[in-house]
Structure 1
Amino acid sequence: MKKKKIGESILQWLFVNYLGLLEKTVHIEWHEDTQFGDSQIFGFWHEDSFFMNLVLENLAHKTRPVDVIVTADTRGNYIEHMVQRCGGHALRVPDGYKAFAALKKIVQDTYEKEHSLAVALDGPLGPRHEPKKLAFYLSEHADEEFVGISISYSSCFRLKRRWDKYAIPLPFSRVTVAVKDYGIVKKNQIPELPVNADHVRGLCAGSGEPEAAVKRIGAL
């Protein structure tokens, strides 16, 4: 048990310090189609979970405090540590049928707390890029806007044996983040969601509009 705790502490240290390195060296290109301020439901793909810590850190300065739905198993320990490091709050939810009670409480809390929520759309276990109904259920019942976040990387390391092809961006690379407000979305009317932010470049090129300015994350 002691060795396990030491191992967890080492991994948490590595993850947090790598996030710090990315924060100082990665350039981020924002494309935002939303109005911030009120509480919202943020949805993203599970493969982008690592970099989403820095995205949510930035969004936390524009919207209500952000709560992130995180698995209750051991994997969630690392995620919770990174979420807290970036100024968010983790809501631990067990996998499978045990999740019902926890999710019911989250829905109830959305009526009482003026917090934004962030959800991995295809989490916790896939299939990849097939959105579950949770984010849209929350949007419908809490009467809050759903905001989709898609990300593209100029250079990253992918865990190709994982179901989600988990992405870890490399230092000194460029990351494109597209943020789109879909309004209040019902769980049985899920819109078509982009799997990455590459489509944004095409839209900018096709319309003749200038691309968003490239910014260093640490300066946001």
Structure 2
Amino acid sequence: MHIPIDPVRFAPLTACLFKAWIRSMRFTISPNLDRVLALHASGQRLVIALWHDELFPIAGYGCVNIAGLMGIVSPSKDGQFVASLMESLGQTTVRGSSSRGGMRALLEARRVMDSENRMAVFAVDGPRGPRHEPKDGVVFLAQHAKAMIVPIRAFSDRAKVFDNAWDRFQLPYPFSRCRMAVGDPYSVTPEKLDAAALAMERARLKERLDALA
């Protein structure tokens, strides 16, 4: 007999386990994070840009240790679980992706950034890839919200890598060590975002994320 289980119902319990998992890890954090938090405290709008495969340690550290985050989360069922998990940890989410509800999500994200002074967290190659190729959404949000983009990478010494996943998702083991590299915040062009401008901004973001390795 098949018994359907909705993982969203277990988000509060999962949040407790997730918090314990993240707290068991040993993070080494770039000093640039202090500059980013100071900018946020001053009222500067910020968009945290990361690769989808490094989502677990970066979002995990942020959700557990930093207040005032807002995740841009896919409207899929998996996204609903992620949203419930983040909200159980006291953060906010906006639902939308490049293929479903993207523009509505960006407008809502801008509203939340304005009204609640939250930093947006954006897996820039998600939700389906190609891997490590930024999409346009983060550029549109940064320009529309007059926000600076902050590239962040995470490098764990021991992690399970899911080779069959499109992003080769990385799941750090409990008690592993993780180095988080935080790049310099920067602004996107104020010019019209035509195809050439978007291509330039995507390339610039990819270069900055890759340079953190």
Fold in common (TM above 0.5): yes
**Matched residue of 1:96: which SS?**
coil
Structure 2 unaligned regions, length at least 5: none
Query: Is the 2:47–2:119 Cα contact (8 Å) retained in structure 1?
Result: yes
Q: 1:169 matched to which residue of 2? A: 172
Which residue, out of 184, 188, 209, partners 1:185?
188
Structural mapping, 1:38-187, within 5 Å: 38=43, 39-57=45-63, 60-61=66-67, 65-93=68-96, 96-186=99-189
Question: CA shift at 1:97, angstroms?
Answer: 4.9
Deviations 1:149-177 (A, max 9, x none): 10101000111111011111101110010
Q: Distance in 2 between matches of 1:185 and 1:94?
A: 20
CA distance in 2 between counterparts of 1:19 and 1:48 reads: 15
Q: Secondary structure at the match of 2:175?
A: coil
Give, in angstroms, the shift of residue 31 of structure 1.
Answer: 0.8
In 2, Cα distance between equivalents of 1:54 and 1:28: 11
Aligned length: 193
Deviation at 1:49, TM superposition (A): 1.8
TM normalised by structure 1 equals 0.75
CA distance, structure 2, for counterparts of residue 141 and residue 31 of structure 1 = 28
Bigger CA drift: 167-176 or 96-105? 96-105
Give the deviation of 1:35 after TM superposition: 3.3
Following the alignment from structure 1 to structure 2, what is the Cα–Cα distance between the partners of residues 67 and 146? 14
| Structure 2 letter corresponding to 1:123 | G
Q: For 1:194, what is the secondary structure of its paired residue?
A: helix
Superposed displacement of residue 52, structure 1: 2.6
Letter in 1 for 2:55: S
Shift of residue 83 of structure 1? 1.2
2: CA distance, partners of 1:7 / 1:58 = 21
1:213 corresponds in structure 2 to none
How has the CA–CA distance of structure 1 residues 86 and 48 changed in structure 2, closer, same or farther, with 3 Å as cutoff?
Answer: farther
* 2:194 aligned with 1:194: no
Q: How far is 1:139 from its partner?
A: 1.6
**SS state at 1:165 partner:** coil
1:22 corresponds to: 21
Measured after TM superposition, the shift of residue 73 of structure 1 is 1.2
Tell me, in whole angstroms, the C-alpha distance in 2 between the residues paired with 1:57 and 1:7. 19
| Greater RCO, CA 8 A, separation 6+ | 1
